[in-house]
Every structure is written in C-alpha cells, then in structure tokens.
Amino acid sequence: MHAGEQHGSGANDLWVVLIPLSAFALLAWGLTAYSLPWTFALPWAPSLGIELAFHIDGLSAQMLALITGIGVLVFTYACGYLAGKPRRGRVYFVLPLFMLAMMGAVSADDVILLFLFWEMTSITSFLLVGFNHEDPHARASARQALLITMGGGLAMLGGLLLLAQMAGVYTLSGIIAAAPGFMDDPRLHLAITLVLLGAFTKSAQFPFHFWLPNAMSAPTPVSAYLHSATMVKLGIYLMLRLDPAFNDLLFWEVLLVGTGAITALWASVLALRERDLKRILARSTVAALGTLTLLVGLPSPGAGLAAVAFLFAHAVYKAPLFMVAGNIDHATGTRIIDKVTGLRRYMPWSAAAALLAGLSMAGLPLAFGFVSKDLMSIAKSEADLLALLSWTLVLVNATAVAVAAVAAVRVFWGRVETPIGPVREVPWTMLAPPLFIALLGIEFEIVPHLADPLLIAAAGVVSPDLRSVEISASYDLSTLFSALGLTAGIGILLYIAWDRLHDRLHRIHWLDRYGPEATYDFLLHGLARLAAWHTRALQHGRLSGYLRLTLAALIAITVFAAWQGEGRLTVDGYWPDHAWAWLVACSVMLAGALSTLFLQDRLALLMASGLVGYGAALLFLFAGAPDLAFTQFMVETILVVVAAAVLPRFGADPYRAEGTRWGDLALAVAAGLGVIALLLHLQGFPVDSTLPEWFAGQALPAAQGHNVVNVIIVDFRALDTLGEIAVVAFSLLAALPLLRRDKGARDHAERAGNPP
C-alpha cells in the first residue's frame, strides 16, 4: 500500500469479531460459575480405548483466555487492516478455524485428539501464511512452515503413542499420573525425544527456528495472532503440560534448558542482522520462546510461575508491537527501519501503543513485563543456574530492550532523515486493538491481583509443589533493580550500536551459507532432484519397464518370504480329479507365452498373448470358479478384437533388441519358478479351515442359501461381485466405438450399393 492510502475502517466486517467474543464471554462465564478442572468425554473408538476427551484446568484456561481474548482484538484489527482487499473473506474464514483448532489443542486430553487439532493448526496456518499466494516468497514460506510443523507433529504422535503404551492410557492426564511407574522403561528417552521434536518445531526452537521469521510474509493480523498468543505457544503449552511428569528427569532438563538457551541466544544475535521491523520482532519472538523453553526445563517450583507469567506477558506486549508494525507498513508502504523515522508527528496513537508495549517488552517498571522478569530472576536463583547460562539470559534480555527501543523509539521518535511522503494515522479499528492490549499490560502491573487467579492456577498445574503465592508479593527489590539496571544498560548500548552491529553481522556470509536454514534448502532441493530421478526411472511410460519392475519385485518378495518363513518345500502325491484339464490350460498358456518370443508380426503376437488369457480362463473354469472364467473369456475376447481393430493405426513394429528378448525370458522364467516355489512352500503350513467352516455354517441361516459358493459371491462378497460386473460393463464400453465404426462402415457400404 502506498503512503497515506486508506481503504476505510473495515467497520462493515466487524461481525467476524462475534466469533472470538462469544468464545471469550463463554469462557469468562464458565470460570466464574464453575470451578476448575472441567472434564468431558465421549466414546470414539472404544475398542482402542480412544475417546473424545477434553480436560480444562488452570493451564488450559490461561491458554484459552489468550486465544479468545487476544483473538477479539486481532479480529478487530484484521477488519481494518484488510479493509478493501478482495480476498479478505479467506482470512475471515480460515482465521476462526485456526482459533477453534488452537482451542481444541489446548483442551484436548486424548492424545489422538490432540494430534488432530495440532495438525489442523499447521494446515490453517499454512493457508494464512500463504494468503498472498501470487508472491513466490509467501508460497515458499507457507510451505516451509507446513513441512516443519507437520513433520514435527508426526514425530510427536509417535512419542505420545509410546507414552500411552507405557502408561496404559491414551490421555495426557493419565500419562502424567502414571509417569512415576515407567521412569525405568527403555523407551522413555525415545518417546520424550519424539514429543519434544513436535514441540520444538511448533515453537520454533533451534534448529527449527528459521521458519518463524520467514512466515512474516503473512498479513500482519495473522502474524500478530499466530506468533504472539497462539501457534508458537502451542509447543510451549505441551512442554508445560508434560513438565510435572518429567521435571525430575535429567534428560528432560538438559534437552529443554540446552535447546532453550541456544535458541534464545542465537535468535538474539540474528535479530541484530535484520532491518525489517516485523522480522526484528519475529527474531525477538524466537528468543522469547527459547527463554520459555529454558524456564520449563528448570527444576525449581518457581519456574512454573515464571513460565506462565512470561508466556502471558509476551502475548500482551508482542501482539500490539506486531500491530504497530502493520500500521507503519499500512501508512508508509514499508517496514524497513532505515526508511521510517519520526513517525510520531503523523501517527501519535500508534506511537503511544508502541511505547506502552515497549515498556513491557523491556521489562521496565509500570509494565507487566517487569513482573515477569522478576519471577524469571527468582526461578533462576532457585535452580542454581550455571553462571554462563545466566549471562546468556542477560544478553537475551538486553537484546529485548534494544528491540523494544527500535520499535518504540527509533521508528517514532528518531530524526527524520528522508521524506516519506504524505502519511496519515490508521483507522480506529487498527488503533484500538494495540492500544487496548498495551494498556492491559500496564494495568496488570499496577493492579497485579487481577492476573493472580488465572496465572496462579496455571502455575499450580505446571508446578504442583508451588507454595501459595501472589505475583504481587514475589518482588525482590534488593536485587531486581540492580539486575534491571545491568540489562537496561547493555540494551541501550546495543540500541546505540545497532547499525554498526548490523553491518558487521551482515558481512558474515557463512551465517547464510551454513546452518539449519541452508540445510533445509539443500534437503528440499535434494528431494526435488530425487523426485525427478524417481520419475525418470520408474515413471518412464514404457509398459515393458513396468512389467520388468513388477516381476523383479515379485521375485524379491518371494525370496524374502521363503527366507523368513518357517515352512518348507512340500510336494505330495495328491492328483486332483481335474488335473488333466489344468495341464491342458497350463500347456495353452505356456504355448502362448513362448510364442511371443519368436513371433514378429504384431497381430500374431496379439493372438499368442490371447492364448495366455484363454488358458487362464480354462484354469479358472476347472478350478471351481466358472463366473471368473466366463468373465475372463469375455474380457479376453473383447480385448483381442479391439486391439486387432486398432493395430493398423500404429506404424511399423517396434524394434526389440535380441538381448532384451532373452533377458525378458529369463525374468519371466524366474518369476514363474518363484511363484511355484512359493506355492510349494505354502503347502508346508497347516491348513486353516476357519473361514471355510464359517462360510459353510453361515450360508443357510444368514443368507438362506444352500450353495455356499453362490452365497459368498452374492452376499458375503457382494462388493467384489459388483466389481466383476463393472469390469464386464467397462469392457462393453471399450468395444462400443468398434461396434459403432463397424455399423457405420456397413451403412456406408449399403448406401454405395456395395454389400459388406
């Protein structure tokens, strides 16, 4: 959008806000009317022990409050941001679906149900990130997010199923309750690794962190919703949910603390390389997610309270900052921080929202971020964190201060260096949501007991050993301001040196050539090359090649079955009554097959191959399957006739090398001998008469028929019989053009006076 261009406030689309508003009102009423937890279950697959089970406790309630509460304001913002856009209806359709998927994921208790909602969030986010599908970058970013998050979701499913098998139940609550009983199970570490792969991919942990900044190609309302309060928090939610079960496990602690620290530090460094305001905020989001992962892994009881408080604070300050970045882009047509400075003169309300949210992000007094940073300090001190790790978090928090200063100070209060053209403030639908959310962050700091009930209930779920505490009573002023001063000081230095650091880091090209994102691109291009080779090798369009591959696979399967089986080759002296007919049928098929090796004329080859089909029909006839035999006779006859009619339309006979002919013969003989060996091998196994006895016993009482074969065909295998009828019908349809052509030729001959 060009600078100053407006499309109206989007007030006509505000009906879509009723969806999250209704959900939020229902949640608020439920929390006031009924005590937690809430449980609900319906049978789904009783034979497998799977139910449509939901469980809402303090942690789920906090997530639902963020999903619906932030959702109300994001939906309002979307009405203004997308006003006048022709495809905004897609967002209004997919965004509520995404919200419902998130609500289902954070309230589902059954692991299968959780997986379905989990993957639904990936699919709907793919549609939202790829909203501008004409843009190749948007399509690539949406595909990248889908591949990474859905791949992690499949790994998570495997881990959850392993945990369910160890616990004997398919619910998260049951797994957590049974966890002490399977701590010595050798499968536990594998199960935890698979589950954390799903959580790490969803919450953009290293080495899967790169998809989140690339997803900034999505419209700003989508970014503000997915990357502040919903999708990227889903992995954090799963880790918080399982933390009571595995918090005492060293493997769990090392994975979460190590991965979280690496993610937070690396994302903070990469944030200094960015110039796009949304990508800067996205990098800082990854750093915050790494910090949350680290907090979940800490063994101290206070870490649970710190994690849920920071999760809440991050949503409250990051959503308005994303919206402010969207306002800047909407008003000026760019998000590059070098091109937009001094905007407070034109966008004072957006500047106010950015300043309020920036206070919370920087962890300064008068903002809820100040409270969350205090709780984080207490959790670190309780956990006896390594000094190196503590300094890492200081650098991460200092980078957050610098990012907040860039978003709230540099863009709006910096010196105007280049004219950016006429700029106007955005409509009220784009101003009210970020201002309201940012003011909430200030309100929860001034009156913290408003947030106490929900956050304490969530913390009690994560850390059951947490003593009764109020957030407002957890301040440690003796050390807080000294730590705050150190963090703020380093952050101000980073802000002042931002351009210099950016230039230095941007010249380090190996950061782009190597690493997880470069590995992803390499694997994706390798997959494309593999698919191209596979297509050339296996889908070349030559029927002879398909037949060779099929026969080779048949031989391989036969050899493997014989090698793995316990039976033996058995040849008894039994001579069936119709053995002479079988020998005749086999002789006919053998003669037809051998003739194809020596005949050159295509019509003769066709007739010889027809002998194979007729021999097979004869074999079916004397093997007790007359219906199959007659179907084979009919299809083979029509095939030969139709093929003979169209053969003259083709050119010369295709050339076939001599070596190929004898190679095909060797392959065919090997396949035939393999089938014979397999059949003789199967004779060594005892005969299972369960099915014949069942069909014989059920034919009369269940189907009122004395002929067991007819009953099987007409009743028990009615669908298979329908398939055979369809084959006959399709054969007739294939012959119809030939019959019409023949009839047309006869009519033409009669009109010309030449009898056919």
DSSP 226-238: HTTTSHHHHHHHH
Query: What confidence score (pLDDT) does residue 21 get?
Result: 95
Which of these, 182, 311, 184, lies nearest to 241 by C-alpha position? 311
Pairing of strands 38-45, 50-56: antiparallel
pLDDT means over runs of 10, the chain (756 residues): 50 86 94 91 82 92 94 93 85 94 95 95 94 89 94 95 93 93 93 96 92 90 89 94 92 92 92 90 93 89 85 91 91 85 86 90 76 71 64 84 90 72 84 90 67 82 71 51 74 88 83 85 91 84 81 81 62 65 84 80 82 87 80 84 75 57 78 78 74 84 82 82 83 76 66 60
Measured CA distances, 693 to 350, 688, 689, 715 (Å): 80, 10, 6, 16
The CA distance from 611 to 613, in Å, is 5
Non-local (6+) Cβ contacts of 399 within 8 A are 268, 271, 272, 284, 287, 491, 494
The CA distance from 362 to 492, in Å, is 10
Which residue has 């306002």 as its token pair? 327
**Residues across the chain:** 756
Burial (CB count <10 Å: 0-12, 13-18, 19+), residue 575: exposed
Q: Reduce the secondary structure of 323-334 to three states and give it as a string.
A: HHHHHHHHHHCC
The CA distance from 357 to 335, in Å, is 18
Whether the Cβ atoms of residue 318 and residue 362 lie closer than 8 Å to each other:
no
Whether the Cβ atoms of residue 299 and residue 253 lie closer than 8 Å to each other:
yes
Measured CA distances, 670 to 587, 663, 676 (Å): 18, 11, 10
Backbone angles phi, psi at 136, to 5 degrees: -60, -35
Q: Is the dihedral of CA 308, 310, 313, 314 positive or negative?
A: negative
Distance of CA 666 to the CA centre of its chain: 46
Query: What confidence score (pLDDT) does residue 523 get?
Result: 92
Query: What confidence score (pLDDT) does residue 202 get?
Result: 95
The CA distance from 103 to 230, in Å, is 9
Query: What confidence score (pLDDT) does residue 647 get?
Result: 74
Two structure tokens written together for 373 = 């940073």
Query: What confidence score (pLDDT) does residue 753 get?
Result: 63
User: How many Cα neighbours within 13 Å face the side chain of 194?
Assistant: 16
Whether the Cβ atoms of residue 227 and residue 534 lie closer than 8 Å to each other:
no
The CA distance from 302 to 295, in Å, is 9
- The SS3 call for residue 50 is strand
Which of these, 241, 230, 310, 234, lies nearest to 68 by C-alpha position? 230
The CA distance from 509 to 499, in Å, is 17
Whether the Cβ atoms of residue 170 and residue 50 lie closer than 8 Å to each other:
yes
Query: What confidence score (pLDDT) does residue 335 get?
Result: 87
Strand partners, 53: 41
254-264 exposure pattern, b = at least 16 Cβ within 10 A, e = fewer:
ebbbebbbbbb
Question: What does 153-181 look like in DSSP terms, one character per residue?
Answer: HHHHHHHHHHHHHHHT-SBHHHHHHHGGG
Name the CA radius of gyration of the chain, rounded.
Answer: 35
Write down the pTM of the prediction.
0.79
Backbone angles phi, psi at 339, to 5 degrees: -100, -10
Which H helix or E strand runs over 52? Answer: strand 50-56
